[in-house]
Amino acid sequence: MRAEMKKRYLGLILDLDGCVYVDGEPTEGAIEALKKLRGIGVRILYVTNNPEVTSEDSASRLRAMGIECSPEEFLTVGEAVARYIASASGPSKLLILTGRGVEEYCRQMGHRVLSLDEWMEAEYLVVGFDRKISYRRLTSGLRALLSGAKFIGTNPDAIHPGREGPEPGSGAFIVPFEYMTGMKPLIIGKPSRVIMELALRKLGMRADEVLVVGDRIDTDVKAGKAIGADTAITLTGITREEDLAEIPRGLRPTYVFRNLRDLVEKLYEQNPSSL
Amino acid sequence: MRAEMKKRYLGLILDLDGCVYVDGEPTEGAIEALKKLRGIGVRILYVTNNPEVTSEDSASRLRAMGIECSPEEFLTVGEAVARYIASASGPSKLLILTGRGVEEYCRQMGHRVLSLDEWMEAEYLVVGFDRKISYRRLTSGLRALLSGAKFIGTNPDAIHPGREGPEPGSGAFIVPFEYMTGMKPLIIGKPSRVIMELALRKLGMRADEVLVVGDRIDTDVKAGKAIGADTAITLTGITREEDLAEIPRGLRPTYVFRNLRDLVEKLYEQNPSSL
C-alpha cells in the first residue's frame, strides 16, 4: 500500500482486549503508541463488548498499565444497551441476564432493573455473557420473552480465549433463548451498527473521519464496515498472520498492522502531512 | 377411519408425561385402559426423554398412581445413551451435563463419569436438560468438545410445559455447544431412531407389530415414523384438537385419540378379532 494512500484519521475507535492488552498485559508498543496519538491530538474512543465492566473500570485498568485516559474515552456495550433502550422506549423495565456493567448503566439511565421473579413485568430482556447462568435465569428469561418482552443481545461471539483455555462467548448465552422462542435478538454490541453509531456520536465525528481498529475480523472489522468506516486489524489477538489469506472479500480490513506501534508509524509518522 | 382398518398391535410404545399423566395426575381413563391392555396381553414399553429419572423411579411413580408395572417396562433416555455408547465404543469416559438418570445408567453400564475438572479426558460429552447449568459446566463441556470428545444430545425439545409456566427443554441446553463449536450432536432420545430401535429390541418386536403413542407430534410421532411404525396422538398433553389441522403431511399420526381409554376402546374393544 502506498504511503500517499494512507489517511491521517481524526479519531480511532479502538478495541481493548486483544488489541490494547492481552491477558492483562499491554500489547507490544501500545503504551508509547497511545501516548503519541494523544500528543498529536488524535481522538480515541475505546469500544468494548465486555458487559461486566463500566467505563470507570476500564479507565482504571488502562491507567494501571501506564496508559493515560479518562472514562469519557470509553463506550461499553452496557452503556450502548442502556442508551439504545432509552432512545427507543424511554425509561423501561428490564430483565438483564448478563454482566454488572450492563446493569449499572441501565440503572444510571433511569431504567428499572427487575429481579428474576419479576419477569412478567419485563419490557426488554437483555442477554449476553453471563457468568451467573442458571436454570432459574433461563426460565425467567424464557417467560419474559413469551410474555412480550423485546429481545436484546449484547453481541454474538461464540467463544473467546481465556487464560486457561477457550471460554463461552456472549452468543452461547443468547442462542438458548432464540431456540426456545424462535425469536431473533436485536444485537447492540459490535459488530452491530447500533454501538458504532453511538461511538460516532460520542466522538462527534463522521464515519469517514475515523478508523475502526481491533483484533477480530467478525467483530471489529465487521463493525467498522457496518458504518462505512475504514478498518484495521492488529495481529495482537485472535487474528494471526496465517488467517489473513482466508478472510472473505467483504470483510477484508483497510489495513493490517502488527500492533498499535506499527499503526502509528505507518499512518502518522511516515505520513507527516498535517491533520 | 373404518374399524376394519384398525390393527390390534402386539405392543405399545408409550410416552409418559402428557400421555399417561399430566402434572403428576393420571390422564382420563389411563388407569383402566392400561389395566385392560395388560389383561389382554398387550406388551407395553414406556419410553421417556426425561434424563432425571431411572426406570425404578418411573415405575414407582406409576404404581403410586395405581398403575401396575415393573421397571423392565421402561426405557429412559439415560439407559439409551448408556447402551448406545457401550455398543459404539465400549466402556468410555463421559462428561455428562444433564440429569441424574443418565449418570446412573452410564455408571451401571461400566462407563466412567468424569468430574468437571476432568474434561480433557472426555471421550463423549452428553448434554441435555440440565437443572444445574452453570458457567463452569458450559466451559468444561466446550473444552471437552474442542479436545475431541464426541457430542451426544439427549433430545431436541425447545420448551416443555411446567406447573407454573413454560420451562426450558433439553434443546436449550444443547444449542450453546453447537453454537460455540459448530459441531452437531448425535441425538439419542425421541425423535431419534436410536432410542426407538433400542425400544423394539427391548420389546423383542418388529416395527410393524407396535404402535407408538404420545402427546407430541415433533417427538412421539416423529420417533414412530423414524422406525416406520404406526403412530397415535392422545389429546391429553401438548397437542390440542385445534392443532391437528396444522400438522405437516409427513408428520400426521396414524390415529388421533382423545385419551388412552379412547385408544383401547377403538383399537381393542370395537375390534374383537384375535391378536
CB distance from B173 to chain A under 8 Å?
yes
pLDDT tier, A273 (very low <50, low <70, confident <90, very high otherwise): low
CB contact under 8 A, A166 and B159: no
Radius of gyration of chain B (CA): 19
Q: Same topology for domains B3-49+191-269 and B78-187, yes or no?
A: yes
* B169 close to A (CB below 8 A): yes
Instruction: Determine the residue of chain B that is closest to A146 in CA distance.
Output: B166
Q: How far apart are CA A255 and CA A220, in angstroms?
A: 13
pLDDT higher for A183 or A2? A183
Q: pTM of the predicted model, to two decimals?
A: 0.93
For the segment A178-190, the average pLDDT, to the nearest whole number, is 98
Per CB-CB distance under 8 Å, the chain B contacts of A169 are 180
- A176 part of contact set with chain B, CB < 8 Å: yes
- Residues in chain B closer than 8 A to A158 (CB atoms): 179-182
pLDDT at B34: 97
A168 and B138 within 8 Å at the Cβ level: the answer is: yes
Task: Return the amino acid letter for A101.
Answer: G
Please report residues of B whose CB lies closer than 8 A to that of A140.
none
> pLDDT tens across A191-215, in order?
999 999 999 999 999 999 999 999 9
pLDDT score for A207: 98
Question: Quick one: pLDDT at residue B192?
Answer: 98
pLDDT per residue over A112-126, tens digit each? 999 999 999 999 999
Q: Helix count (H) and strand count (E) of chain A?
A: 9, 15
Smallest Cβ–Cβ distance between B133 and the set A134, A146, A179 belongs to A134
Q: Cα angle vertex A170, ends B148, A167, to 5°? A: 35
Beta strand extents in B49-164 (DSSP E only): 74-76, 93-97, 112-113, 124-127, 150-153, 159-162
End-to-end CA distance of chain B: 20
Instruction: Please provide residue B78's backbone torsions phi and psi, each rounded to the nearest 5 degrees.
Output: -65, -45
Cβ contact (<8 Å) for A168 and B134?
Answer: no
Question: Could you report the per-residue pLDDT of A62-74, keeping only the tens digit for each?
Answer: 999 999 999 999 9
What is the reported pLDDT for A274? Answer: 46
What's the confidence (pLDDT) of residue B271? 61
Cβ proximity of B46 and B58 under 8 Å:
yes
CB atoms within 10 A of CB B175: 23
Q: Is the dihedral angle over the CA atoms B238, B242, B246, B250 positive or is it negative?
A: positive
Q: What is the mean pLDDT of residues A183-188?
A: 98
* For chain A, percent of residues with pLDDT exceeding 70: 96
What local confidence, expressed as pLDDT, does residue B272 receive?
56
Start-to-end C-alpha separation, chain A: 20
- Per the listing, cell 452503556 goes with A79
Distance CA A3, CA A267 (A): 8
Asked if residues A36 and A234 have their Cβ atoms less than 8 Å apart, the reply is no
Contacts of B173 in chain A (CB under 8 A): 176
User: Cα distance from B178 to chain A (closest Cα, Å)?
Assistant: 9
C-alpha cell at A130: 453471563
Is the Cβ pair B171, A179 closer than 8 Å? yes
Tens of pLDDT, residue by residue over B113-172, are: 999 999 999 999 999 999 999 999 999 999 999 999 999 999 999 998 888 899 999 999
**In chain B, residues 109-148 whose CB comes closer than 8 Å to chain A:** 130-135, 138-139, 142-143, 146
pLDDT at residue A76, as a whole number: 98
pLDDT in tens, A123-169: 999 999 999 999 999 999 999 999 999 999 999 999 988 888 999 99
CA atoms within 13 A on the CB side of A16: 24
For B145, nearest residue in chain A (alpha carbons): A166
Q: Do B167 and A142 touch (CB under 8 A)?
A: yes
Residue of B nearest to A133 (CA): B134
In the CATH scheme, what is the code of domain B3-49+191-269?
3.40.50.1000
Q: Say whether the peptide bond before residue A248 is cis (omega within 30 degrees of 0).
A: no
> Residue B130, SS3?
coil
Which pLDDT score, from 0 to 100, does residue B249 have? Answer: 92
Angle separating helix axes B170-181 and A170-181, nearest 10 degrees = 140
* B231: Cβ contacts below 8 Å, ≥ 6 apart: B211, B212, B213, B220, B221, B224, B225, B253, B254, B255
Mean pLDDT for chain B overall:
95
Using a 10 angstrom Cβ sphere, with 0-12 exposed, 13-18 middle and 19 or more buried, the burial of residue B250 is exposed
DSSP state of B219: I
User: Can you tell me the distance from the alpha carbon of B208 to that of B45, in angstroms, rounded to the nearest whole number?
Assistant: 15
User: Least CA distance to B131: which residue of chain A?
Assistant: A135
What is the three-class DSSP state of B143? Answer: helix
Phi, psi at A171, each rounded to 5°: -60, -30
Instruction: Provide, as residue numbers in chain B, all residues whose Cβ is less than 8 Å from the Cβ of A139.
Output: 162, 165, 167-168
Question: Nearest CA of chain A to the CA of B127: how many Å?
Answer: 13
Chain A residues within 8 A of B160 when measuring between CB atoms: none
- With an 8 Å Cβ cutoff, are A143 and B166 in contact? yes
Residues of chain B short of pLDDT 70, as ranges, are 1-5, 271-275
Can you spell out the DSSP letters for A212-248? Answer: EEES-IIIIIHHHHHTT-EEEEETTSS--GGGGGGS-
C-alpha cell at A35: 501516548
Q: Is A179 exposed, middle or buried (0-12, 13-18, 19+ CB in 10 A)?
A: buried
pLDDT for res B275 = 45
Residues of A in contact with B133 (CB under 8 A): 133-135, 138
Looking at chain A, how many residues does it have? Answer: 275
Residue A162: per-residue pLDDT: 84
Domain chopping of chain A, boundaries: 3-49+191-269, 78-187
Interface probe for B, chosen from A97, A157, A179 (most Cβ of B below 10 Å), is A179
Indicate if the pLDDT at residue A1 is higher than 50. no
Scanning B146-165 for CB atoms below 8 A from A yields 146, 158-159, 162, 165
Residue of B142, B158, B178 lying closest to A159 (CB–CB)? B142
Q: Which of residues 180-239 of B touch A (CB under 8 A)?
A: 180-182
CB atoms A179 and B180 under 8 Å:
no
DSSP state, B15?
Answer: -
Whether B179 sits inside 8 A of A173 (CB atoms) is no
Q: Do B138 and A176 touch (CB under 8 A)?
A: no
Question: Does the CB of B172 have a partner CB in chain A at under 8 Å?
Answer: yes
Q: How far is A177 from chain B (nearest CA, A)?
A: 7
| Candidates A131, A134, A171; nearest CB to B179 | A171
Q: Which fold has domain A78-187?
A: Rossmann fold (3.40.50)
Shortest CB distance from B175 goes to which of A139, A159, A175?
A175
Which tens digit of pLDDT belongs to each residue from A75-95?
A: 999 999 999 999 999 999 999
Cβ–Cβ below 8 Å for B180 and A159: yes
